Amino acid sequence: MANLVLVLLAALEIGFLVFDQIKGSSKGTWSIRRLVVNLGELAVFLLMLLLPGIDTSFRFKGLILLLVLRIVIAGLFALINRKKKESKKIAGKIVSLVLSMVLISGALVPAFIFSDYNGLPLHGTYKVRNTDAILVDKDRVEKFEQDGSCREVPVYFFYPDTVSAGEKYPLIVFSHGAFGYYQSNVSTYMELASNGYVVVSLEHPYHSIFTHDTDGKTIIVDSDFMNSVMTTGQDGTEEDIYEVAKDWMEVRVGDMNFAIDEIVKGADSKDVSDYWFESDNKKAEVLSVLDLIDSSKIGLMGHSMGGATSVEVGKIRDDIDAVIDIDGTMLGSITGASDGKFIVEDVDYHVPLFEIENMNAHKEAIEAERVGYPYPNNMIRKNADVYYGTYFEGALHMDYTDLPLFSPFLAKLLGSGDVDNEYIMDKFNLLAVDFFDCYIKGEGEFQVDPSYPGVSK
């Protein structure tokens, strides 16, 4: 729809130039016509608000401000130039046209980058609320800073709104991928919460594209971490990957373990005085959410590096009931590298595991198995007591997040296929509910196809 807005406003600008050139005008007349055209452009946009995909959100807010500002400026020039009789030169008119199109195009950039996505329909019976807090790990020094400060882990809760007295819900903890952030899979959290789960999405400072700390300061992704992921993933040897992956996993596993411990402690003791940081107006809400959690029922899930984190934490803790790995290489199982091959631990995996892969990763895993290459995901599949796996045809790495729904443009840059993302996320979210229902709530039988089409049929 942004294209339609741009085309119509461009047509008005070009039409104005042609009309004014045919009719001829003095500077005074041109300034009045310029004001009329600017008023007309705003009127056209306001009428277009009746169309789907055009709104007054941040996507078009810059354009609205621009159109209003141009009316104000045009009005001032109309007053200043109203008595000027000299002709308006064609060069000045062309400059005005070009400048107008540059400004309009620039103001429309957010509308081209982002969609009008407002979330997927929920299938559960509960309405969903959310709140947040920050956990301060006093036993870990922040490695990304030099001031000796403690590691902080922001946590975001998505939970059933209206509940019966004493009702408890399983806890699901989510970890985002490299350069991701806590909202990477909001549709998944919302679907789970609507079906009777308390979902906590962690943010990993300096691994997240941005977050904030207890001082309110914005924390952006660490440049060295970003470079290590980009360069090692593309050109690094297995030895290089192992060396950096150890550090990645140490940070993330520490974050998830700490968060689980403190959430369980808060749910059991109703005390958030030691390690929790929340504003006074949120403390009661955080306590009310913790009171909803059944700490004896815990599931983990994550995307990409967050999936690897979930799998590893599920392996080392004895209080995890089920794990979902969303297209993550299980880095925690790599214990070394030699002669261009990973050394992968060959140990049992006792927690029910559901893995969803992108199409290319699925093919690579099959090839690794065929040639005998030690791929960590294949080893865990072999050793898992309960394992399910699937993939969507044509889906790439980012297609298992909400990014393609929110910004198809950015998703394509980062890795998205030609698929129906609403269908994929809706189907995956329901599979996640069914999996956790089966292995955490003990309800129903989980069934999943080996693969699914990338578009709805």
Contact 291, 237 (CB under 8 A): no
Q: Which residues fall within 8 angstroms of residue 42, CB to CB, at 6 or more apart?
A: 64, 67, 68, 71
Does this model's pTM top 0.95? no
φ, ψ at 321 (rounded to 5°): -100, -25
pLDDT band per the 50, 70, 90 thresholds, residue 234: low
Q: How many residues does the chain have?
A: 457
Higher per-residue confidence, 230 vs 260: 260
Q: Tokens standing for 389? A: 């796996």
Q: How far apart are CA 42 and CA 66, in angstroms?
A: 10
Q: How do strand 341-344 and strand 334-338 relate by DSSP bridges?
A: antiparallel
Mean pLDDT, residues 381-390 taken together: 96
* Whether the predicted pLDDT of 299 surpasses 60: yes
Q: Which pLDDT value is given to residue 251?
A: 96
Domain ranges of the chain: 2-113, 128-441
When the pLDDT of each residue in the chain is averaged and rounded to a whole number, the result is 92
Q: Which pLDDT value is given to residue 277?
A: 83
Q: The domain 128-441: what is its CATH number? A: 3.40.50.1820
Q: Which pLDDT value is given to residue 146?
A: 86
* Whether the predicted pLDDT of 54 surpasses 60: yes
pLDDT band per the 50, 70, 90 thresholds, residue 419: very high
φ, ψ at 188 (rounded to 5°): -70, -45
Q: How far apart are CA 134 and CA 278, in angstroms?
A: 6
Query: How close are the terminal C-alpha atoms of the chain, in Å?
Result: 26
Higher per-residue confidence, 351 vs 55: 351
Q: Which pLDDT value is given to residue 405?
A: 95
Higher per-residue confidence, 347 vs 85: 347
Q: How far apart are CA 149 and CA 138, in angstroms?
A: 9
Alpha helices in 270-320 (DSSP H): 280-290, 305-316
Q: Which pLDDT value is given to residue 457?
A: 57
